Amino acid sequence: MVLPAGMRALAHRNFRLYFAGQAISILGSWIQQVALAWLVYRLTGSAALLGITAFCGLIPQLLVGPLAGAWIDKHDKKKWLVGVQSLMAVQAFVLAGLCWLDWISPGFIICMALILGVLSSFDAPLRQSLIGSFVGSRDDLPNALALNAMLFNAGRFIGPPIAGLLLGLTSEAFCFAINGFSFMALIAAILRVRSQPPLRAKGSVGEVFKEGVMFAWRIWVVRMLILTLIALNLTASAYAVLLPVFARDVFAGDATTLGWLWGAAGCGAFASTVFLATRKSSPAIVSAVVAGVLISAISLLVFATTNWLPLALGGMVGIGFGISVCNVGINMVLQSTAPEALRGRIVSFFTSARFGFDALGGLLAGFVAAGFGAGHTLLAEGCVLLLFVVFLFTRRQRLQVQIVAAHQGAQDGH
């Protein structure tokens, strides 16, 4: 198939199958995420509990994720992705049943969030590390990763407003059930994929894990990019935890208002992945990452200091764009520079930093907001992120030069 440069990875049949199934699955996941946040705040009215729930859903990625990557590199990734997706569908159906029977409570919600977090610790590295085998070309891998992120952000743009409408018309249980059925689409797509399985790592899980850690520590570029992930997701990404507070208390809205705020961030994130899909060189992606951190900081400050909804929606677009450019761009660079045999572990380090520190940031934001207010919390985080931008900008040129060298080394098999 002859396709525009920004969509070239879709020329590969296996990636098209994955792309279609993932599109449906992601939409369901975003509907559940919004419904769960609204359920927590509706039942408790607690910003701190919003932070705890988000923390429980993400912290396993920090604790389990790195070891999960070593385990993944030793096993059949395709088979285990189908298994993990099936368990995630069961989790969604159990959550729907508990909610429908009115047996739901904060304790149950936290427990289900922890279960989903553990499953996600395996799911994200499995999916990400398989994309290379779906396209079968290292040159098309960055584009495939950008398109995969585009799907995630399209769901983030479309899913929350749909969730807001569904919550107004039906219930949280219905939203959770929709997510359970959405996993079936990706399972069906993966079962139809025909590709050579990636090479498996040899040795014990401990030995495989140590090999991945040594690679990440030895390469300065990898260390710097992971540090950037930590700084961004510890601060800017925490906005998501506090959105129900802003929707109800600052803008005097309801679940529909929450959906529009989340959808605005998704709109910006989607635009960022369209932008990244057209980037062909690693230095250009690095420049985009630095700009993304700056945009995130400024937009966070705008959102934190306004009570005018249209301006807040604009701030959310900027936050979504900046965070996504940074997270997706770093993922593209890391996977392009990692040897094939180490990809599962490098992806797991990425997801651990990305979601683990998002969890810590969300927990911290929830408790700080309970004492000082949501607006003041995001204002402080925006100022901290601005300071990190200065630090990152002084290292931008070194990053660009060393990423080119690391990419060449990966192509040569080193």
pLDDT tens, position by position, 84-123: 999 999 999 999 999 998 888 888 888 888 999 899 888 9
Q: What is the pLDDT of residue 293?
A: 95
Hunting for tokens 């520590």 — which residue is that? 217
Check: CB of residue 81 under 8 Å from CB of residue 141.
no
Q: Which amino acid is at 158?
A: I
Quote the pLDDT of residue 151. Answer: 85
Tokens of 369: 């907001």
Q: Is residue 408 pLDDT above 70, yes or no?
A: no
Tens-place pLDDT, residues 120-131: 888 988 888 888
Amino acid identity at 169: L
> Coil, strand or helix: which one is 305?
coil
Share of the chain above pLDDT 70, in %: 95
Q: What contacts 23, CB < 8 A, 6 or more positions away? A: 151, 154, 155, 185
Encoded tokens for 146: 């950008």
pLDDT for 170: 85
For the segment 20-40, the average pLDDT, to the nearest whole number, is 90
Tell which residue, 28, 23, 26, has the closest CA to residue 174.
28
pLDDT tens sequence across 345-392: 888 888 888 888 887 888 888 889 888 898 999 999 999 999 999 999
For residue 5, the model assigns a pLDDT of: 64
User: What is the reported pLDDT for 248?
Assistant: 87
DSSP 338: S
What integer pLDDT is reported at residue 3 of this predicted model? 62
Q: What is the mean pLDDT of the chain?
A: 86
pLDDT (tens digit per residue) in 3-13 = 666 788 888 89
**DSSP summary character for residue 198:** P
* Residue 197 neighbours by CB distance under 10 Å: 12
Q: Phi/psi zone of residue 413: left (φ > 0), alpha (ψ -120 to 50 degrees), beta? A: left
Res 153 pLDDT > 90: no
Q: For the segment 289-335, what is each residue's pLDDT rounded down to a tens digit?
A: 999 999 999 999 999 999 899 999 999 999 999 999 999 999 888 88
203 torsion bin: left (phi>0), alpha (psi -120 to 50), beta (else): left
pLDDT of residue 19: 93
The answer to whether 323 and 229 have CB atoms below 8 angstroms apart is: no
* Per-residue model confidence (pLDDT) at position 1: 57
Residues contacting 252, CB < 8 A, separation 6+: none
Domain locations in the chain as residue ranges? 5-411
CATH architecture, domain 5-411: Up-down Bundle (1.20)
Structure tokens at 139: 């040159």
Give the tens place of pLDDT for each residue, 182-200: 999 999 999 998 877 666 7
Q: Is the dihedral of CA 289, 290, 291, 296 positive or negative?
A: positive
pLDDT digits (tens, 9 = 90+) for 48-73: 787 788 788 878 887 888 888 888 88
Of 221-230, 339-348, 380-389, which gets the smallest average pLDDT? Answer: 339-348
